[in-house]
Structure 1
Amino acid sequence: MSKALTKIDRKDAKMVMAHLYVAFVSLAIGGLCGLLQVLVRSGKVQLPAGISYYQILTVHGVILALVLTTFFIIGFQFAAISRTAGTLSNGIRKTGWAGFWTMLIGTVLAATMILLNEASVLYTFYAPLQAHFLFYLGLTLVVVGSWISCAGMVAAYVKWRKANPGKPGPLLTFMSVVNAVLWFIATLGVAATVLFQLLPWSMGLVDRVNVAVSRTLFWYFGHPLVYFWLLPAYMCWYVIIPKVIGGKMFSDTMARLAFILFLIFSIPVGFHHQLLEPGIDPAWKFIQVILTFMVAIPSLMTAFAMFATFELYGRSQGAKGLFGWVKKLPWNDARFTVPFIGMLAFIPGGIGGLINASHQLNAVIHNTIWVTGHFHLTIATTVILTYFGVAYWLVPHLTGRVLTKKMNRLAIIQGVTWAVGMTFMSGAMHAEGLLGGPRRSAFSTYGDAPQALEWIPYQIAQAVGGAILFLSIILCLIIFINLAFFAPKGEEEFPVSEASEHAAQPSPVFENWKLWVGITAALILFAYTIPFIDMIQNAPPGAKGFKLW
């Protein structure tokens, strides 16, 4: 194997590290705001200097859910493509840098408005909450910058395909392109509502927006956003973890099929976030709930593939009995253990997702803090812990250093600490939600409610969990800084596993992009065309033009 396929080029590594620096600075800022939130909700802390609870809530959501994830994902996917499809060309690298700087400028604009308390609109930035127009402009630049970067990924894939006709694309590269295509399609919704509704509204060019259209366009984007976060974690699980444990990937074909299914079923499902909203025909809500449950199929496929990989490896090492293979796994290796904790968290997280998507059960927990607890299990544990596990070998690989035994032990402590903190915090959020505790609310806004006394123990448990999580974030930042600047020089592996010799070769149909994008587009048109017509035709009296306002 050529050097280009085993060690990422220094110029590519520099670009990837730029993305990771932004991601981990975002972790520090967003983590501090998260700690302040749970302390305020406990009723024991008041924010100084007139800082609003909703200001730090917006910072926490935007900088962790949008900024950290987007920068990390784009950096990781460029690294994956450089590692498996060969060193990026100068043109593609320039495209990546252009996307990076565009996103960074947009992030600074949006963050400045939030810090000036001109954009305390939460990370969902729903109308009729209104932010300064520079906030929306900043978000637009973040999306446009991500498009530029994703275009570079697709160009690298196309270049490899032309140089290797008839061959299936390298699996990590294929997965990166699927996620890039998913992102292209999904962000059309948020781009539409920002450019044609929220930005003109915030600039005073129009005096109203069609809230139903705005929320629907957001959730057209908002649910596939979850899979944009999740698919890089699946990339790690399918391709990297088997190599880390010393085994082989269970099935290349299953991995490609799972990613294609995520592309098809992740986008036309946004109505399950709007089950209790008026203005949407119940029949269309029901259809999108069915499509939402279809997404469970690739998730179950992934669970099967991963535990099959673990068991096959354990059996190859002489494991006996039903669960003897568990003992053979490398529990002392942070590259495995930290993502594995994330995998386990996805079991209750997935169950919670099925509850959220079910019309009857959703009615019980809708807009309660249960929902907040749910996505702290999924994005803030399953996804983020997997990202941390990736960073613990990717950062030293990119900087020419090594993950030392000391840092490896600290990384395992960090992962376990995160699991303990999240058990307290997310568990308490789920419990409070079942008692009717609202989400997006500071303690002071409902402290006089008759049932508020029932919620206090759970809010204190959330504060305890949040403090433990903040300690885990500090450990993570210590490890990141060490691996980036102070760890001993050396060669750290970028692990990429091979498929099992018993696995079938992937079919060329997986690379038929016209087919898969066409099916995705057809499902989107089916799921959204008539509901959008209804929303526009039945807009409130006095709306102008196409009744987007």
Structure 2
Amino acid sequence: MSNYTGSEIFSSKTTVDKKDSRLILANMAWVAFALLIGGTAGLLQTLVRSGQFELPFGIGYYQLLTLHGVILALVMTFFFIMGFQIAALSRTAGALNNTERRLGWVGFWVMTAGTLMSASMIALNEATVLYTFYAPLQAHAIHYIGLTFVIVGTWISVAGQLMRYFRWRKENKGQKTPLLSYMTAINNVMWIVCTIGVASAVLFQFIPWSLGWVETINITLSRTLFWYFGHPLVYFWLLPAYMVWYAIIPKVLGTKGFSDNLARLSFVLFLFFSIPVGIHHQLVDPGIDAFWKGLQVVLTFMVIVPSLMTAFSMFAVFETYGRKQGATGLLDWFKKLPWTDARFALVFIGMLFFIPGGLGGIINASGQMNQLIHNTIWVVGHFHITVGAPVILTYFAAMLFLLPHITGRKIDKIANRLGLFLAYTWALGMGIMSLAMHWAGLRGAPRRSTFSEYGGAEIAGEWITYQVMQAVGGSFLFIAIIIAILMFLKLITGPKQTEPEEFPVAMFMDQDAPPVKWVENWRLLIIITIFLILIAYTVPITQMFTENIPGAKGFRLW
């Protein structure tokens, strides 16, 4: 019989350990640096696409495009996630021990080495293959090895994090694990499972091919293994933002979260349905039967369920807060929200972007509607208002409370004002740029192409307005990036205080409800996850080895 009581959901620990803080700060320093480099590359891309700017020093457009994708989509996000999850564990489960912390540092340095290897090849124009690195585009072997190091570095750090989580469970048998610690474990397990795909492709296909050990590569298999990883990668970015939404924002508002048990269930559903869905990115690829594409489209739509659960939970929290502030009408609570608190404003604006982002995702994953927008710049616009708005803005909000907490500083009026300027400038830039991308995509504008590649003056003239809008939006985004860097510097150099800034962690309306035991039955969760993956991928991948399909050998798919 469990000795559970509601108060046991939360650790008595209220601060992040000082030794853990140094590791967290090292990861966050990489976030700021990567944001500046990747953001600069992004601005230059929009200027080139407008046809009003030429790159100096022989820099190639696709070289910039590769840098932008790798440094922002992989490097910046990975370092943030590792740092934030270590902070979440240290805050709610207690300090990491020496072994767990050492794994965090080893992972950090392996990721750093891999980043420098990959970046050096991109700088030398030896890895202009975009962040998706589709074959038959070929990079220098050092680029692939560097990316492998980055992934392996996350594995090492994740190992330390999982050790901390399971050590808490061993030390507190019969108790519900702290919510943030549980969410971290779910995200890490999903990450280990999904990265097997990209690791297999790089180790057994791309590295031997780039070294000249083999002459050809199975393109269909390489794309399938990439997207086995590529779609859950989106949720690896997103779930830390959901951690902030569920477990931190209610505390920022001074109210309770909606439901601890519902939050755990939503994360379990993301674990189940985020991985066996990658083929919906390959709906126009030959060599995969329509049945298996259709099955993965259905599984993709299952991810809508935890997303709607999250939206319901958060807006229930917002309305509860507004009612406590005296709101009486149907939507009066909206006015009562703390719009002057940058921690809230950054998150809420990001959530609003997620509404059209989610609708666009449904279009992308739908077999027939996908035909219209596939491989157009619509997809780029969708990517930016999902990852580039709700995820990144929430990361900024997390840094707003996390950095002063671990450095003993204060969120003063200047830092908060910078956060507000960042929220609204980012929203303006992203709104203009992504809207132009969506419109141009509906008119057939291809993704990844420059102004000069559109093929004709008539076509180019039709799209130049969209390209100029993208450049304007990109310029506002770059201004927002400068504001973010200034906020980062202010948060780590601001006024010191005796008590650290609060790392807010919420309590919940169902605080005294007993834990749902099966959601922490890890054997069951992993069996269901693997079962769904086997159903979705066994036959398609087997066919790639056994049937004579386009792209199975050599470069025929391309």
What CA deviation, in whole Å up to 9, does each residue of 1:444-474 have, x standing for no partner? 2225264221110000000000000000000
Matches within 5 A, 1:57-456: 57-448=65-456, 450-456=458-464
The answer as to whether partners of 2:378 and 2:437 remain within 8 angstroms in 1 is: yes
| Aligned position for 1:500 | 509
Change (3 A) 1:19 1:518: same
Instruction: Say whether residues 1:509 and 2:530 are aligned partners.
Output: no
| Aligned position for 2:530 | 521
What CA deviation, in whole Å up to 9, does each residue of 1:230-279 have, x standing for no partner? 00000000000000001001000000000000000000001110000100
Give, in whole Å, the separation in 2 of the partners of 1:331 and 1:544. 56
Give, in whole Å, the separation in 2 of the partners of 1:371 and 1:67. 21
Instruction: Say whether residues 1:13 and 2:21 are aligned partners.
Output: yes
Give, in whole Å, the separation in 2 of the partners of 1:103 and 1:34. 23
Amino acid at match of 2:111: M
Give, in whole Å, the separation in 2 of the partners of 1:30 and 1:487. 30
| Aligned position for 1:534 | 543
Give, in whole Å, the separation in 2 of the partners of 1:511 and 1:163. 15
Question: Per-residue deviation at 1:538?
Answer: 2.3
User: What SS class does the counterpart of residue 451 from structure 1 fall into?
Assistant: helix
Question: Per-residue deviation at 1:281?
Answer: 0.1
Change (3 A) 1:145 1:539: farther
The answer as to whether partners of 1:252 and 1:503 remain within 8 angstroms in 2 is: no
Give, in whole Å, the separation in 2 of the partners of 1:449 and 1:146. 47
User: What SS class does the counterpart of residue 82 from structure 1 fall into?
Assistant: helix
Give, in whole Å, the separation in 2 of the partners of 1:113 and 1:517. 37
Amino acid at match of 1:387: Y
Question: Per-residue deviation at 1:9?
Answer: 1.2
Give, in whole Å, the separation in 2 of the partners of 1:251 and 1:506. 11
Question: Per-residue deviation at 1:3?
Answer: 9.7
Deviates more, 1:471-480 or 1:532-541: 532-541
Amino acid at match of 1:508: K
The answer as to whether partners of 1:242 and 1:249 remain within 8 angstroms in 2 is: yes
Change (3 A) 1:81 1:538: same
| Aligned position for 2:3 | none
| Aligned position for 1:22 | 30
**Structure 1 unmatched runs, 5+:** none
| Aligned position for 1:34 | 42
The answer as to whether partners of 2:41 and 2:64 remain within 8 angstroms in 1 is: yes
What CA deviation, in whole Å up to 9, does each residue of 1:390-433 have, x standing for no partner? 10111111111011012101210111000000111000000000
User: What SS class does the counterpart of residue 328 from structure 2 fall into?
Assistant: coil
What CA deviation, in whole Å up to 9, does each residue of 1:483-536 have, x standing for no partner? 112444452100000011577333111110111111010010110011011111
User: What SS class does the counterpart of residue 447 from structure 2 fall into?
Assistant: coil
Deviates more, 1:479-488 or 1:203-212: 479-488
Question: Per-residue deviation at 1:280?
Answer: 0.3
Give, in whole Å, the separation in 2 of the partners of 1:273 and 1:319. 44
The answer as to whether partners of 2:256 and 2:317 remain within 8 angstroms in 1 is: yes
Give, in whole Å, the separation in 1 of the partners of 2:61 and 2:239. 32
State TM-score, norm by structure 1. Answer: 0.97
Let me know the Cα RMSD of the aligned residues: 1.7
Deviates more, 1:313-322 or 1:527-536: 313-322
Amino acid at match of 1:163: E
Q: 2:487 aligns with which of 479, 494, 516?
A: 479
The answer as to whether partners of 1:319 and 1:328 remain within 8 angstroms in 2 is: yes
Amino acid at match of 1:8: V
Give, in whole Å, the separation in 2 of the partners of 1:33 and 1:318. 47
The answer as to whether partners of 1:210 and 1:539 remain within 8 angstroms in 2 is: no
Give, in whole Å, the separation in 1 of the partners of 2:173 and 2:11. 22
The answer as to whether partners of 1:4 and 1:87 remain within 8 angstroms in 2 is: no
The answer as to whether partners of 2:115 and 2:147 remain within 8 angstroms in 1 is: yes
The answer as to whether partners of 2:232 and 2:274 remain within 8 angstroms in 1 is: yes
Give, in whole Å, the separation in 1 of the partners of 2:303 and 2:353. 18
The answer as to whether partners of 1:400 and 1:492 remain within 8 angstroms in 2 is: yes
The answer as to whether partners of 2:66 and 2:129 remain within 8 angstroms in 1 is: yes
What CA deviation, in whole Å up to 9, does each residue of 1:116-146 have, x standing for no partner? 0000000000111000000000010111110
Give, in whole Å, the separation in 1 of the partners of 2:247 and 2:355. 20
What CA deviation, in whole Å up to 9, does each residue of 1:3-24 have, x standing for no partner? 9711111110000010000111
Change (3 A) 1:35 1:509: same
Give, in whole Å, the separation in 2 of the partners of 1:4 and 1:69. 30
The answer as to whether partners of 2:286 and 2:550 remain within 8 angstroms in 1 is: no
The answer as to whether partners of 1:250 and 1:503 remain within 8 angstroms in 2 is: no
| Aligned position for 2:4 | none
| Aligned position for 1:46 | 54
Give, in whole Å, the separation in 2 of the partners of 1:228 and 1:91. 25
Give, in whole Å, the separation in 1 of the partners of 2:236 and 2:103. 20
What CA deviation, in whole Å up to 9, does each residue of 1:158-185 have, x standing for no partner? 1000110011110000000000001000
